[in-house]
Amino acid sequence: METTRLIIVAVGGQGNLLASKVLGEAALLAGVPVRMSEIHGMAQRGGVVESAMVFGDAESSIISDGEADILLGFEPAETLRAIKRCNKNTQVITNTAPVPPFTVAAGLGTYPDVEEIKQLIQAKTAGLVAIDAMSLAREAGSPMSVNIVLLGALVQTGALGFNRDVVEEAIRRRVKPAFLDVNLKAFDLGFKAAASA
């Protein structure tokens, strides 16, 4: 079985741990072995949260620099920061809605131009799907569903090899019933947005 290595980067609170659990559940449903690793603790206090998921035969649960097959970024500057995890064959999917770090407000840095971020990633990798996941999440009914919008976009690219039925079933298993409709709508909006991106 082919090995597919996926890195998810997000800002604490954007729900990347739930996103990776949904993909893990989808892997179980699809009969694909998966290992995943995440970071907790001090790093979570407003910092960057990263999950690594390895699908297929490889046994390691972390991913070295240059070895991600897919990079899924929940925040554009964080997607660019994680670009060293990519090689020229990496498929990148990113949210384009910035969550500027506090250091920008404090005058300690300048937030890069989102168009420039997109161009840089596009030029360096095999492909970029960039969508405004925050607007779509709001359209779905909750800004908290950014993570599921992005899963929709990820699945649409086909990079992971899972079909949407499997991932939607995984969402049903992992998301609380009260939020299910919003999240299924979010998934659909992300999927469609990636198709026309």
Which residues here bind another protein, judged by CB under 8 A? 11, 20-21, 24-25, 28, 34-48, 58-67, 77-78, 80-81, 83-88, 90, 100-112, 116, 120, 124-125, 143
Q: CB-wise, 9 or 154, nearer to another protein?
A: 9
Q: CB-wise, 35 or 172, nearer to another protein?
A: 35
Min dist. Cβ of residue 67 to another protein (A): 6
Q: Alpha carbon of 177 to those of 144, 173, 180, 183: distances in Å?
A: 15, 9, 5, 10
Min dist. Cβ of residue 184 to another protein (A): 20
Min dist. Cβ of residue 192 to another protein (A): 26
Q: Which residues contact 96 (CB under 8 A, 6 or more apart)?
A: 76, 114, 118, 130, 131, 132, 133
Min dist. Cβ of residue 132 to another protein (A): 16
Q: Are 33 and 61 in contact (CB under 8 A)?
A: no
DSSP bridge pairs for 55: 4, 34
| Location of structure tokens 């659909």 | 188
